[in-house]
Structure 1
Amino acid sequence: MAPLTLALYQPDIPQNAGTMLRTCACLGVSAAIIGPAGFPTSDRDFRRAGMDYLDQVTIDRHASFTAFQAWRAACRQAGNPRRLLLLSTHATASYLDCAYREGDILLVGRESAGAPEEVHAAADLALRIPMRPGIRSLNVAVAAAMVLGEALRQLRVL
């Protein structure tokens, strides 16, 4: 099992999704795509941004957030609980203050709308990237890479 999983909640920009999957491949992180996505999510559709790196990443696909939560419940029953960490501009805790654990799932929301209340409610922890006042948000792929980097640094994986 990879030390971390990056979950993409209903991604709607294929280039960003491909970039995040490429990041997962380079860093040894598994990926999960929670549908429905705003574009086809076959490996072929990610080839442009993910290039040949997609062969190097494990991608679990979940038809819905309900299916994703069922998968997490099955992991918990099998003795492998997976903590869900939501990256959100609405969170109060900084990603720098989190003590990451092996098996954590870092979840990013839709580029156009973030994550709905149902996802916020299911998260074990919501994290934000501190930014200058008046700035709305980072690109989702950049944000994911920043937080993955900190989590992997703490876990001393790479």
Structure 2
Amino acid sequence: MKQENFLNPFSLVLFEPEIPPNTGNIARLCAGTDTPLHLIEPLGFSISDKHLKRAGLDYWPSVKLSVWKNWQEFKDNVRPQRLVTTSAKRGEHLFNFKFLPGDHIVFGPETRGLPDWMFAEFEHAVNIPTTNNVRSLNLSTSAGIILYQALSCLDAEVIFK
């Protein structure tokens, strides 16, 4: 069902993303859910990368995109109410976590995840349960799962107006 007046209370934050197609797919997710997307440099690619554009297709004009030079610049300018870090191994089980409007959901680089200091600095962390058959899920898959789970924590009246 398409919603014309969708108001998304969440934001996605990609800390030092490395793989252009993942970021492009997440941008497409953000365009489709009206979710602001924050990219924290350094990026493992150029914003003009053809793989990034291909994955995001023609949805880039609909993405509420901000690119920040580093983590401190992001925090100083955005001043998020609550940061929710993500991990393949740490944090609370995704389906037990209560997301709140205004949450900024933070994802780490594909090859190494978020740095340890982030988990020490921020109290909220979630993970997606998987079997032992994989180390982790793809970043863009994880972003979709977590964003839609966050949306499901809210009343439909809050989401669809």
Aligned partners of 1:38, 1:133: CA distance in 2, in Å? 28
Q: Aligned-pair distance for 1:42? A: 4.3
Q: Aligned-pair distance for 1:119? A: 2.2
Aligned partners of 2:115, 2:134: CA distance in 1, in Å? 21
Whichever residue aligns with residue 62 of structure 2, its letter is: Q
Q: Aligned-pair distance for 1:151? A: 0.7
Q: Aligned-pair distance for 1:67? A: 1.2
2:21 is aligned, of 7, 15, 19, to 15
Q: Aligned-pair distance for 1:134? A: 4.3
Q: Aligned-pair distance for 1:118? A: 2.4
2:37 is aligned, of 11, 24, 31, to 31
> What's the counterpart of residue 129 of structure 1?
128
Q: Aligned-pair distance for 1:124? A: 3.3
> What's the counterpart of residue 116 of structure 1?
115
Alignment of 1:77-88 (within 5 A): 81-88=80-87
Whichever residue aligns with residue 13 of structure 2, its letter is: A
Matched position secondary structure for 1:32: strand
Matched position secondary structure for 1:70: helix
Compute the TM-score of the two structures, normalised by the length of structure 2.
Answer: 0.86
Aligned partners of 2:115, 2:29: CA distance in 1, in Å? 25
**How well do the aligned residues superpose, as a CA RMSD in angstroms?**
1.9
Matched position secondary structure for 2:38: strand
1:5 is aligned, of 8, 11, 19, to 11
Whichever residue aligns with residue 82 of structure 2, its letter is: R
Whichever residue aligns with residue 123 of structure 1, its letter is: F
Identity %: 31
Q: Aligned-pair distance for 1:43? A: 8.1
Aligned residues of 1:83 and 1:124 also touching (Cα < 8 A): no
Aligned partners of 2:28, 2:122: CA distance in 1, in Å? 25
Matched position secondary structure for 2:102: coil
Would you say how many aligned residue pairs link Structure 1 and Structure 2?
151
Q: Aligned-pair distance for 1:69? A: 2.0
> What's the counterpart of residue 53 of structure 2?
47
The verdict on how the C-alpha distance between 1:44 and 1:2 changes in structure 2, with shifts beyond 3 A counting, is farther
Which has the higher mean CA deviation after the structures are superposed, 126-135 or 136-145? 126-135
Q: Aligned-pair distance for 1:123? A: 2.6
Asked if 1:106 corresponds to 2:105, the answer is yes
Whichever residue aligns with residue 39 of structure 1, its letter is: F
Matched position secondary structure for 1:146: helix
Q: Aligned-pair distance for 1:71? A: 2.2
Whichever residue aligns with residue 30 of structure 2, its letter is: C
Unaligned runs of 5+ residues in structure 1 are 76-80
Whichever residue aligns with residue 120 of structure 1, its letter is: F
Aligned residues of 1:84 and 1:107 also touching (Cα < 8 A): yes
